[in-house]
Structure 1
Amino acid sequence: MKKIYKILRITIITLSLISYGKAQTNIYTTDFGTVANVNPTGWTFTGINMNISTNSASSGYPSASGNCYLGEGNSVAFINTSATSEPTSQIGTSSAELLVNTTGFSTVTLAFGMRKSSGGYNANATYTLEWSNNGITYNTINYTEAIAGAWGLASGPGLTLPAGAGNQSTLYIRWTFVRTGTASNFKIDDVFVIGNAAANNNAPTIVMDVASTSNFLDGGVSVAPISPYPVSGVISDPSDPASTLGIDFTINDAQTAASSLTVTFVSSNLTVLPNANVVITGTAASRNIKIIPGTVGYSNITINVSDGTNITPYTINYACSAAASTPSNTIWHTGMSDASDAVAIDNNYYISGDDELDILNVYSRTASGLPLVSFDYSSFINLASTSSPEVDLEAGTRSPLNTNRIYWMGSMSTGGSSFSIRPNRDRLFATTVSGTGATTTFSVLGYYASLRTAIVNWGDANGYNFSASAAAGMDSKNIAGYAAEGMVFAPDNITLYVGLRAPLVPIANRTKAVIVPLTNFETWFNNGSPSGNPTLGAPIELNLGGRGIRDLVRLTNGVYIILAGNPAGSPLTSAIYKWTGNATDAPLFIATPVNGFLNMEGVMQGIGSAPVSATPLQIISDGGGDIIYNDGNAAKDLADLNLRKFRLDNLSAVNLCILSATSTPVITQAGFSFTSTPGVSYQWYYNSVAITGATLQTYNAAQNGNYFVAVTDAGGCSSTSAVVVVNTVGFTNYIGDKNVVTIFPNPYNESTSIELVLAENSRVIIEVYSLLGQKIQSIANADYFAGKHTFSFGAVKLGYAAGMYLIKTAVNNNTIVTRVIEN
């Protein structure tokens, strides 16, 4: 009967394999042979009397005599390894475990012959079938048991195990028989482990996890980028996202558990990126790769995910650029290179435009990386040429009246190798900006397309001949060319200043930059529906050392910052100036380490509060012409936007104190008493030397000489008054017509000398009083011969405090009082 079942079972299994529709392979087969107590390879037995046993007539299978099967029970037909009979009262747990290798097979089917006790014996036993891929955690295999007393599985010849059973170097299959009473037994034979052919094994997957990867690396996209993906890093950049945050990936496989997948990588250029500079971490399906820059250049990093048979690669095209001279002060942004302006959203984010891409990007003010939001405005401003849509965006400024409105302006310049007229560059438009960071949204409010014409006509009317400067064929990047690059509201919050990069004026020597004032600007712009042409005011000419205007901003403290540069671009003569915004005031040069070093295009007030005397600034530089990867290619020519980059530099504690003539302190004099206009702190000077302790708003002069005061305001800015000359007190004074008294030094330390020269014999009285009228000392009270007499005084020596005292000198009937100060 058993032999007949074997034939039938094998036939059914064969038919079942065909029904799967794919090639299958017997990974493991056994019928336990014909010799009792010989354990086949791959099996282990634990517990009581689970052994290879021999059929006999008493077992109920007379036709199977001489063959063996795996069994456990109370029949004398089942013998243990010592070949002794089993006690019929034996109770306990027995198990048999098979270890097989399923590598290369996606799924596994298990088939086996089974017979258990018939009748009431079943109540005294339980049977369990389990699998594991680690030998620690076991999973139950559900199946329908055979009819008691018969061979086979009622559910059919095969059990398909879960996907995790495939592709395992060791798969554990365990049968467990728990006997709780006597007269019960369990037998299995003809075990088959069948696997799907390796050719049908699905390859693993690797996908960038854009939900957990920083937006600084994936640009805030919602769909995972496909391979290859470009990433740029900077040597020694403390906020480089690729090295500090890394890219998150999700790996998976239809047949293999993620924890069993192998993740490796290959760097194509070990000089640029040594193996030690690539760090892969994570477990199961979540993995992270950090890339630490090595040297300047390119390296393709291929991440390979393997299930033991199939390998799926994901490539990162990595590019590394050189470190900044001051890495802690420099942030590197990718996604564009020709940054041309900067408008802060808040202390965390700002907006910058690219003068070659019609895109506004939202960047972090504190960390390197890609923009969080990109907005293409080209379809909203009715461009004259859509085939060459470049607006050449160069300036942006926030409305003082509508704080969520930002105005943007093209350069209005000529372009191309032939310096042709580019109408697209004549756009002045407004956006409404809401939110911040990754939630920033943009909408275009309106635009104006004829500002270039209005300014050219204005320039002609003011004798600048802008028609020639702006003509086709004229290079706009020329001292006599025409281009606008700055825009900011005037101190009145009504007039809009447009700063020109070129031309410099006047025509005769071209030494000064020009600002074009658009009066009543926002009224004229009319919320995006301008009516007629704007009204332009009187020109403002500024001496910027032969430089044109590259950006104009007004800080919260009212100070204007002007970024200035060579109208021709090269050689680089960039510089920073501070200005009151008043047409009659001259801008002042600020000495900074970035002057002449950075190609400065935009500036923002730094993060956080600070006094005007120590204001931080953030400088945006155009990096389009930089060769950043030592490959001979300018950044703006790189095909992958992710590899283009520009820099933001932090300048700390910049002295932006700048006071107009109306802010100069004024001294009011009443006799010998001086009073300054109000301030926060004061320092009085005598003959250009600070007077110790003279730090009040008022001061009483004690001697002849030149006096002035330095007043410091709430912003930490100091300004000095005009000099006041005192010639009625001091070193030398006459008493009567001929007698001379000299007191020196004054102010003094420890003591001062009183020198009296008498023209004739005289009565002399010298007394010292406090400012309250108390007599401190009587120095002289006697008759003296004609000639010179010397006395001394020191308040501290007499036990009094340092400070101001009055020395009264009387000769005959003539008296003079002199103020002295002891430090």
Structure 2
Amino acid sequence: MKKPLLLALCASFATVAACANAQMRITEFMYDGPDGEFVEFTNVGATAVDMSGWSFDDDSNAPGTVGLGAFGTVQPGESVLFTDSTAAAFRSAWNLCSGVKVIGGNTTGLGRADQINLYDAANQRVDRLTYNDQGIAGSIRTKDKSGWVSAAGLGQDAILQWTLSSLADVENSRASGGGAIGSPGRSERRQFDFDPCNTSAGTPVVTIDVANTTPRLDLAVNAAGAVAGTIGDATDPAAVAGIALNFSDSDGDAAALVVTASSSNATVVDSSGLLLSGSGATRTLRIVPQGVGYASITLRATDADNKTGSYVISYAASRSSIAAERHFTGASDASAAIVSGDHMLVADDEGQNLRLYPRDASGLAHNGFDFTAALALTDIDGGVPREVDIEGVARSGDLIYWTGSHSNKKDNGAARPNRQRVFATRLSGSGAATMLSYVARYDFLRADLVAWDSSNGHGLGANALGLAASAATGIAPERDDGFNIEGLAIAPDENGLFIAFRAPLLPTTQRTKALLVHATNLRSTIANAPAGGSSAAGSLSFAAPVEMDLGGRGIRDIVRGSDGEYLIVAGPTATATGVAPSDFRLYRWSGNAADAPQLLSVDLAGLAASGSIETIVNFDGAGATLLELLADSGDTVWYNDGVIAKDLPEPRQRKFVSGRLAVEIPAGNDRVFRDSFEAR
């Protein structure tokens, strides 16, 4: 299957298009080892590569020195190996199946200081690696341990971007029979999954044509994959665009194959919902669901000798709660979003991936950006940083500000310091070409807020807001006396941001009003942070707190419109009195602390059936529009199996949703939101 949202691969390319066009690359090498030296080449692109006429050479730089045509056709995601050992001995030493392609007997050996050059059939060099641990300071020596390339180093001839293998590293490196360490035959730099062991001589082969299958689906090249669909969704990628397939038969004509598609569960997808078109070596399958649940969709190709090859799709179907609901897959806990043309950047509070989705088409993200490495996260679990719990976003020009919840752990109030981050990214491009780059961060918003309240910085009396008690270890964040930031908005002044709280509710004696705080210099504090770090604690200043009557609800999102006024999604805390867990409301607020928010007559119950409404995507101020909202569906059971979305073992079947409301916002105070969801 495609590497998660192209995050690992595309980091080294300027655009997603460039990433898709990349093909054969050097991904691992060992110049000296007990089982022989080797070079691994991986197809990191989306189309198969015929290696006829391709060649290898070392530092003599002569195309055609050693032919690589014996690799045949290399599928997307497939890694092939070149060694001075015999192919059989190399496979045995590394416990590789017969399907892993190995060319053995190389006599153009690698040295301790050498080059690896890969040439295509036109004798054009497509990749090079220059290495020399004695002459290039800080570089690796691959004696008895292989080296593997990072995403940033892929195709770059940059040995400092290579890492020495270690047992159970991110490449899943292991020991060979002779005691070498490496991971030959599989690279994390691949874009799509390929199983070389799922082959049998003379058996027809069914593969996914990933280059011609919509990127809103993500299927392994061969063997098996996973898909999520939605009943009645006009943009369901498997039902509308379909899955492109390739068929081949090494000892026969692909046009003579008998191709069938079947479903293991006719209540979810029956035969009428399996629409197979095309002929010969290329076909397209569309899957149209009829019911909620799971089914195994099996594609079979049978030849004249009655040999059968197959591909199995693990399929899951859900239904919509409202008309024109879009189902975005690959994540379930949508918590913040910002528009970029006809796409949107969406944060998931379960991780740091900022995913780029087309706004009007269900399915997977087209790209994604992960800034974990820049955020200095210190809270580690099993070698992996715990989540920042991104909950709010605000945009000013090309700068986008993201905030963690600054909360404790949900169930027991344990400390979660990684969540205490506000960071800025810079946006370039638009739509599918959107790119993000890291700018800076601030790590002490919560500490500054607590200190401001404790020292009576607001003039209401020391600890009037009770923030120290709310943030204390052991206090769950979603209680009405907890500490949980869920909204971020551009404030009217040049350097400020509004910090919006789901909890605590105020006053401390009644817990009925939502809290909003204006951090008057937060933007400039982030801009002035030292490179790669954060400004010191105590850098922030705050205006007087704003207490809002939102009917006993906290703030789940706040967005500033082009007219300078604000739209607020209000929702319950975990312990709010008299507010149902699914009772979300919309409010209009002038931005003036003296003005009360205005409750808008909008029915959000339909969208709330798909999750907690936490994100306003596209509020533009007064005028007619379709207001787009996202629901955090992490706790939603989609497939009638009792499993909530965030716990589904197959990430491609996790999903969150968007719904659109027809909105008419007249100028002035007479604003009415039409109380309906409308089909697009």
Is 1:439 matched with 2:436?
A: no
Given candidates 285, 289, 292, the residue that maps to 1:289 is 285
> Structure 1 stretch 433-442 or stretch 548-557: which is displaced more?
433-442
Find the aligned partners of 2:410 and 2:477 in 1 and give their Cα distance: 10
Given candidates 314, 323, 326, the residue that maps to 2:320 is 323
1:660-701 CA distance string (max 9 Å, x none)? xxxxxxxxxxxxxxxxxxxxxxxxxxxxxxxxxxxxxxxxxx
Which residue of structure 2 aligns with residue 506 of structure 1?
507
In the TM superposition, residue 657 of structure 1 has moved relative to its aligned partner by 4.6
Is 1:520 matched with 2:521?
A: yes
Is 1:546 matched with 2:577?
A: no
Identify, as 1 or 2, the structure richer in strand: 1
- AA partner of residue 293 (structure 1): P
Is 1:336 matched with 2:331?
A: yes
What secondary structure is seen at the aligned counterpart in 1 of 2:211?
Answer: coil
Residues 335, 716 of structure 1: CA spacing in aligned structure 2 closer, same or farther, 3 A cutoff? closer
Find the aligned partners of 1:490 and 1:542 in 2 and give their Cα distance: 16
In the TM superposition, residue 242 of structure 1 has moved relative to its aligned partner by 0.9
Aligned runs of 1:287-436 on 2, under 5 Å? 287-309=283-305, 310-326=307-323, 329-346=324-341, 348-387=342-381, 388-399=385-396, 403-436=397-430
Find the aligned partners of 1:468 and 1:488 in 2 and give their Cα distance: 25
Residues 248, 270 of structure 1: CA spacing in aligned structure 2 closer, same or farther, 3 A cutoff? same
- AA partner of residue 232 (structure 1): A
Aligned runs of 1:432-471 on 2, under 5 Å? 432-460=426-454, 461=456, 462=460, 463-471=464-472
Unaligned runs of 5+ in 2: 1-198, 674-680
Which residue of structure 2 aligns with residue 536 of structure 1?
542
1:351-380 CA distance string (max 9 Å, x none)? 111111221111111111111112222222
Find the aligned partners of 1:528 and 1:262 in 2 and give their Cα distance: 64
> Structure 1 stretch 562-571 or stretch 508-517: which is displaced more?
562-571
Which residue of structure 1 aligns with residue 639 of structure 2?
629
In the TM superposition, residue 626 of structure 1 has moved relative to its aligned partner by 0.7
Give yes or no for contact 1:419–1:475 (8 Å, CA) kept in 2: yes
- AA partner of residue 354 (structure 1): D
Residues 225, 603 of structure 1: CA spacing in aligned structure 2 closer, same or farther, 3 A cutoff? farther
What secondary structure is seen at the aligned counterpart in 1 of 2:217?
Answer: helix
Q: CA RMSD in A?
A: 2.3
Give yes or no for contact 2:218–2:226 (8 Å, CA) kept in 1: no
Give yes or no for contact 2:391–2:487 (8 Å, CA) kept in 1: yes
Find the aligned partners of 1:308 and 1:370 in 2 and give their Cα distance: 38
Find the aligned partners of 1:447 and 1:341 in 2 and give their Cα distance: 18
Find the aligned partners of 2:527 and 2:624 in 1 and give their Cα distance: 38
What secondary structure is seen at the aligned counterpart in 1 of 2:212?
Answer: coil
Give yes or no for contact 2:600–2:672 (8 Å, CA) kept in 1: no
Give yes or no for contact 2:293–2:317 (8 Å, CA) kept in 1: yes
Find the aligned partners of 1:500 and 1:547 in 2 and give their Cα distance: 10
- AA partner of residue 334 (structure 2): A
Given candidates 644, 660, 675, the residue that maps to 2:654 is 644
Give yes or no for contact 1:500–1:550 (8 Å, CA) kept in 2: yes
- AA partner of residue 543 (structure 1): D
What secondary structure is seen at the aligned counterpart in 2 of 1:217?
Answer: coil
> What fraction of aligned residue pairs are identical, expressed as a percent?
37
- AA partner of residue 209 (structure 2): D
Find the aligned partners of 2:407 and 2:606 in 1 and give their Cα distance: 24
- AA partner of residue 644 (structure 1): R
Which residue of structure 2 aligns with residue 48 of structure 1?
none
- AA partner of residue 538 (structure 1): A
Residues 527, 335 of structure 1: CA spacing in aligned structure 2 closer, same or farther, 3 A cutoff? farther
- More contact order relative to length (CA 8 Å, sep ≥ 6): 2
Find the aligned partners of 2:602 and 2:553 in 1 and give their Cα distance: 16
In the TM superposition, residue 443 of structure 1 has moved relative to its aligned partner by 2.2
Find the aligned partners of 1:485 and 1:369 in 2 and give their Cα distance: 26
Find the aligned partners of 1:210 and 1:434 in 2 and give their Cα distance: 28
In the TM superposition, residue 294 of structure 1 has moved relative to its aligned partner by 1.0
Residues 227, 592 of structure 1: CA spacing in aligned structure 2 closer, same or farther, 3 A cutoff? farther
1:265-287 CA distance string (max 9 Å, x none)? 22111111101100111122221
Which residue of structure 2 aligns with residue 211 of structure 1?
211
Residues 227, 395 of structure 1: CA spacing in aligned structure 2 closer, same or farther, 3 A cutoff? farther
What secondary structure is seen at the aligned counterpart in 2 of 1:413?
Answer: coil
1:11-35 CA distance string (max 9 Å, x none)? xxxxxxxxxxxxxxxxxxxxxxxxx
Which residue of structure 1 aligns with residue 160 of structure 2?
none
In the TM superposition, residue 204 of structure 1 has moved relative to its aligned partner by 2.0
What secondary structure is seen at the aligned counterpart in 2 of 1:601?
Answer: strand
In the TM superposition, residue 527 of structure 1 has moved relative to its aligned partner by 5.3
Give yes or no for contact 2:218–2:227 (8 Å, CA) kept in 1: no
Given candidates 229, 253, 258, the residue that maps to 1:257 is 253
Residues 482, 556 of structure 1: CA spacing in aligned structure 2 closer, same or farther, 3 A cutoff? same
1:373-426 CA distance string (max 9 Å, x none)? 122222221101232521111011112xxx222111110111053210100110
Give yes or no for contact 1:395–1:485 (8 Å, CA) kept in 2: yes
Find the aligned partners of 2:606 and 2:309 in 1 and give their Cα distance: 50
Find the aligned partners of 2:212 and 2:658 in 1 and give their Cα distance: 26
TM-score with structure 1 setting the length = 0.53
Give yes or no for contact 2:607–2:631 (8 Å, CA) kept in 1: no
What secondary structure is seen at the aligned counterpart in 1 of 2:512?
Answer: coil
Find the aligned partners of 1:652 and 1:622 in 2 and give their Cα distance: 21
What secondary structure is seen at the aligned counterpart in 2 of 1:485?
Answer: strand
Given candidates 613, 617, 621, the residue that maps to 1:604 is 617
Which residue of structure 1 aligns with residue 239 of structure 2?
243
Find the aligned partners of 1:319 and 1:437 in 2 and give their Cα distance: 29
- AA partner of residue 325 (structure 2): T
Aligned runs of 1:216-227 on 2, under 5 Å? 216-218=216-218, 224-227=220-223
Number of residues of Structure 1 aligned to a counterpart in Structure 2: 452
In the TM superposition, residue 578 of structure 1 has moved relative to its aligned partner by 0.9
Find the aligned partners of 1:318 and 1:716 in 2 and give their Cα distance: 42
Find the aligned partners of 2:666 and 2:474 in 1 and give their Cα distance: 40
Aligned runs of 1:420-819 on 2, under 5 Å? 420-460=414-454, 461=456, 462=460, 463-526=464-527, 528-529=529-530, 530-532=534-536, 533-568=539-574, 571-594=581-604, 598=608, 599-605=612-618, 612-655=622-665, 657-659=667-669
Give yes or no for contact 1:579–1:658 (8 Å, CA) kept in 2: no
What secondary structure is seen at the aligned counterpart in 2 of 1:211?
Answer: helix
Find the aligned partners of 1:470 and 1:658 in 2 and give their Cα distance: 39
What secondary structure is seen at the aligned counterpart in 2 of 1:605?
Answer: coil
Find the aligned partners of 2:223 and 2:379 in 1 and give their Cα distance: 34
Find the aligned partners of 1:586 and 1:615 in 2 and give their Cα distance: 24
Find the aligned partners of 1:499 and 1:225 in 2 and give their Cα distance: 45
In the TM superposition, residue 338 of structure 1 has moved relative to its aligned partner by 0.7
1:720-766 CA distance string (max 9 Å, x none)? xxxxxxxxxxxxxxxxxxxxxxxxxxxxxxxxxxxxxxxxxxxxxxx
Give yes or no for contact 1:208–1:225 (8 Å, CA) kept in 2: yes
- AA partner of residue 345 (structure 1): S
- AA partner of residue 443 (structure 1): S
Given candidates 273, 276, 287, the residue that maps to 1:277 is 273
What secondary structure is seen at the aligned counterpart in 2 of 1:414?
Answer: coil
What secondary structure is seen at the aligned counterpart in 1 of 2:661?
Answer: strand
Unaligned runs of 5+ in 1: 1-198, 660-711, 718-823
Which residue of structure 2 aligns with residue 142 of structure 1?
none
1:285-341 CA distance string (max 9 Å, x none)? 221110001100000101112223321111110001023232xx3111111111101
Give yes or no for contact 1:617–1:654 (8 Å, CA) kept in 2: no
- AA partner of residue 651 (structure 1): L
Residues 657, 293 of structure 1: CA spacing in aligned structure 2 closer, same or farther, 3 A cutoff? farther
Give yes or no for contact 1:430–1:528 (8 Å, CA) kept in 2: no
Aligned runs of 1:96-115 on 2, under 5 Å? none
